[in-house]
Amino acid sequence: MLTVCFHGAESTGKSVMAAHLFERFGWPCVPEYGREYCETHGTDLTMDDLIAIAEGHAAATRAMAAERPEVLLLDTDPLMTAAWARMLFGAVPDTLLAFPKADLYLLFEADVPWIADGTRFFGRDEERARFAAIAQHILTETGVDWQRIHGSWQAREAAVVAAITSALRRS
């Protein structure tokens, strides 16, 4: 089983891409647990909330991984929650870095229009750029395997499919 995490700043197409790839290939996706959490508990987050989000996402990942699909997509994971911690609080607790990692991270660039949806925080250009840089830095500092995804929606999809196909061949 290949686990592929969609990583990056808000409103970069991660959830839309995951849904599209499920329709196209049948690859299941662990949904973004933080969105569900914020819709239920609100967006006035604490570090304890971020840890609860990471734990909820990890539990959902374990449950879906038990089915052993060929490819399991993760619409973010605890490393993205670590980026949120750094963005919101300036620090990342070791707890957020200790969760299991995906086999491949695809970093979605913030080069598409930002869309407000009620749970997104960082729509101003400078905030968005800072959050994108933090998201990339988390991948670099943890040493995971990652690739950059950017461009038009069509280019993004082609790059994602190529990256997953290549990773499947290597595994």
**Rounded to whole angstroms, how far apart are CA atoms 58 and 36?**
14
Instruction: Reduce the DSSP state of residue 71 to 3 states and report it.
Output: strand
Number of domains the chain is built from: 1
CB atoms within 10 A of CB 59: 12
Q: What is the pLDDT of residue 113?
A: 67
**Rounded to whole angstroms, how far apart are CA atoms 136 and 80?**
10
Alpha carbon 126 to its chain centroid, in Å, reads: 20
Instruction: Reduce the DSSP state of residue 123 to 3 states and report it.
Output: coil
Q: What is the pLDDT of residue 171?
A: 84
Give me the domain span that covers residue 72. 2-170
- Alpha helices per DSSP H over 28-124: 33-41, 47-65, 78-89, 94-97
pTM, two decimals, is 0.91
Q: Which residues of the chain fall below pLDDT 50? A: none
**CATH number, position 139:** 3.40.50.300
Q: What is the pLDDT of residue 121?
A: 58
